[in-house]
């Protein structure tokens, strides 16, 4: 009994040391492939940008602030931006989310999510047009200017 209480207290203290979770990570920190496909399907009429990243990935850390700026520049009616972490350690994911001022939903993706999009390396950017068709799918850092150019080249591509 004492051992179980000790283990519970250790887990509680470890979780408490993370501090409060950012609003975007509370309650929906993990996503399945089915959930991601549903979110993309429900966003018809908007561009959808899915960014696969990890907290330890330097190019990802360079790309995320640019995506935060992109989120500010495009209306919620024009763009759905989703961040999917492939971190293996949930604690590492939550620490990073706590440090980064995300203004778009970020999730911890399971193996089924990475498998669905054939994520072999990160960062990986998948962009859907307003009809739900993939218009871009690449691995490696994508400069903000290139992403903005891609969005502007498609019909009804508009910013803020």
As beta bridge partners, residue 108 has 30, 85
Query: What is the spatial distance between Cα 72 and Cα 116, in angstroms, rounded to a whole number?
Result: 28
CB 85, CB 110: distance < 8 Å: no
Query: What is the spatial distance between Cα 128 and Cα 80, in angstroms, rounded to a whole number?
Result: 10
Q: How many residues does the chain have?
A: 160
Query: What is the spatial distance between Cα 43 and Cα 81, in angstroms, rounded to a whole number?
Result: 10
Q: What's the pLDDT score for residue 10?
A: 34
Q: What's the pLDDT score for residue 28?
A: 53
Q: What's the pLDDT score for residue 29?
A: 80
* Residue whose token pair is 């999510």: 113
Residue ranges of domains in the chain, CATH in brackets:
23-152 (3.40.30.10)
Query: What is the spatial distance between Cα 58 and Cα 62, in angstroms, rounded to a whole number?
Result: 6
The helix, strand and coil proportions of the chain, stated in percent and rounded to the nearest 5, come to: 40, 20, 40
Q: List the chain pLDDT tens, one digit each, 160 residues.
A: 333 323 333 333 333 333 333 334 433 588 999 999 999 999 999 999 999 999 999 999 999 999 999 999 999 999 999 999 999 999 999 999 999 999 999 999 977 998 999 999 999 999 999 999 999 999 999 999 999 999 998 865 444 4
The tokens for 138 are: 């690449």
């Amino acid at each position: 009994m004492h051992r179980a209480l000790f283990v519970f207290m250790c887990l509680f203290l470890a979780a408490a040391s993370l501090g409060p979770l950012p609003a975007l990570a509370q309650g929906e920190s993990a996503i399945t492939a089915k959930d991601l496909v549903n979110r993309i399907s429900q966003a018809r009429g908007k561009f959808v940008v899915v960014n696969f990243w990890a907290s330890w990935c330097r190019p990802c850390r360079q790309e995320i602030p640019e995506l935060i700026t992109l989120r500010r520049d495009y209306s919620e009616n024009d763009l759905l931006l989703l961040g999917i972490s492939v971190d293996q350690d949930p604690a590492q994911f939550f620490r990073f989310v706590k440090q980064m001022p995300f203004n778009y939903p970020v999730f911890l993706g399971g193996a089924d999510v990475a498998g669905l999009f054939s994520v072999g390396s990160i960062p990986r950017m998948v962009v859907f047009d307003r009809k739900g068709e993939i218009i871009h799918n690449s691995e490696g850092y994508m400069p903000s200017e290139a992403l903005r150019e891609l969005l502007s080249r498609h019909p009804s591509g508009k910013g803020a």
